[in-house]
Structure 1
């Protein structure tokens, strides 16, 4: 077996039978649940335990990220919505009607992340509107993380079921 065959086998477009896809899926959802509104969750817990400077750091980081998210949505929110809908619908058409497994895999990875983005945007808007700080902010960030973990759990389950179906339907090597 030469180098080209090894690379083609390593970077296979048959996503659901490829180890790299499952590693990427785990990394994406691990990162999504660790970074809530751009803030690492350990900072939220440390602010609750220690208070003081950790609390101020948390509030500053949340304020910066919330303002950034809301500014981006005000400036280019409609365009972003259009692009996201275009990409998702294109992936769905390629995956469902043309049976492109790579498009199915990317759709199952990206579609739930749009829900995470929507939840993050709603939470950012609420934080900005109500000027939430302190314990209320920590509680809201932990609740946001719980929602993200719930979406991630469902997404991983659905992706695993669909992947097993595809592998049984077409075989692991086909």
Structure 2
């Protein structure tokens, strides 16, 4: 039923909560998991990925990449910053793929650049993805309205079914 599962990740704890679900579903259907990271092009020129939060317990730490001045986007070249963010994305997908592949699941990794939800949808279409599995932080109210939700946009616009896994709220 599902041959290709897309697991978009930004290296956050919210995304990491979906790893077990991805692994179980891929194992059940003998599917290949495509692990995708998107460098947010809206912010990459300024040296901000928009997704880099150091989350305790996720097993994946994604720190912003400073330029030579030690500041994000100040004194550095936009192309260098984008290259550094892409390199960081490659590290994130490799770590996530290793976690997903622990149970013998086949994985493929990719790093894309663009608006996150658009890049995820484009990747899903281009790779004939059968299912998307994503973590979500479970924002509500004004925070969700102001920040938007990549997961919500993918759910609304994806041709493939989308499974969302909500991160536990801190006590």
TM over 0.5, shorter chain: no
The structure carrying a bigger helix percent of its residues is 1
Query: When the two structures are superposed, what TM-score results if normalisation uses the length of structure 1?
Result: 0.31
Larger radius of gyration: 1
Query: When the two structures are superposed, what TM-score results if normalisation uses the length of structure 2?
Result: 0.31
